[in-house]
Chain A
């Protein structure tokens, strides 16, 4: 268990009676939970709403949290995952991602055409990610946005490290096939191909 995870557990024990302890936990985790929900929902408005609900639920149930070897972060991610799943069920649709929501980074100079193309490519990739099953989306967000190891992802998803590794490779293969399918339909290419 990492030092922060142990410290989190101590804060969790105090949080049931001490609001400031919960405030510290909140400060530590709000950004990563927000980021996770943002990628799952595709817009800031719903990300803010659901992040608030995650922490409200955590606050209401923090007294019930028991140390069973699962870090507090994993517990928060599970709440977020369940709320996002409910949100998708209620919405009954796959949300589209507003183009302006994604910043185009690492572009040499101000080239509007290049920026537009890069943004289009990002959109295509994000749309392909969102068409994956929820557990695979979760895996990619935890791996790439949060930069978590397979073991850490496994704690959050309730799987073994080996199962996460296997799911990761299946996810990348499925994502690549989805991208190829979209490319075939639209006649576009990927950045890596363009740079080649």
Chain B
């Protein structure tokens, strides 16, 4: 198959024959179909999460974090309240002893 440089008009039949020789099925690498099957069938196609999944996960995380911070603040406030109560009681008992 050498190029002669002589140029004639290519017929449709010749073009079909040429396409038939060049356009042949192409196989993927041997690992690829197995890898993709595992991803699709075993893991049910869990590729990159879609945008709404990312938004939902981020929203839930923020809500949980806010809830946790709120709970921690309530515990701290309760502790301060108890401490204040104890301090006032001990101060009241001291004053009563001085009066007596």
Interface assignment of A73: CB less than 8 Å from any CB of chain B = no
Contact call A190/B1, Cβ cutoff below 8 A: no
For the residues of A in contact with B, the DSSP-based class is helix
- Which residue in chain A gives the minimum CB-CB distance to B36? A52
- Interface assignment of A65: CB less than 8 Å from any CB of chain B: no
Interface size on A, residues (CB 8 A): 58
User: Which of A32, A38, A172, A189 is close to B16, meaning CB atoms less than 8 Å apart?
Assistant: A172
Contact of A179 among B1, B10, B28, B44 (CB under 8 A): B10
A-B contact count (CB 8 A): 131
Number of interface residues of B (CB under 8 A): 39
Residue among B17, B20, B36 with max Cβ neighbours from chain A (10 Å): B36
CA distance A106 to B9 in the complex (A): 24
Interface: B21 (CB within 8 A): yes
B17 to chain A, nearest CB (A): 7
B12 and A193: CB pair below 8 A? no
Instruction: Among B6, B27, B28, point to the contact of A189 (Cβ < 8 A).
Output: B6
A162 to B16, CA, bound (A): 19
A-B contact pairs, 5 of them (CB 8 A): A31-B28, A52-B39, A145-B26, A189-B7, A194-B4
* B contacts, CB < 8 Å to A: 1-12, 14-29, 32-33, 36-37, 39-42, 44-45, 47
Q: Which 6 A-B pairs have the closest CB atoms?
A: A144-B23, A192-B14, A23-B41, A59-B45, A38-B26, A19-B41
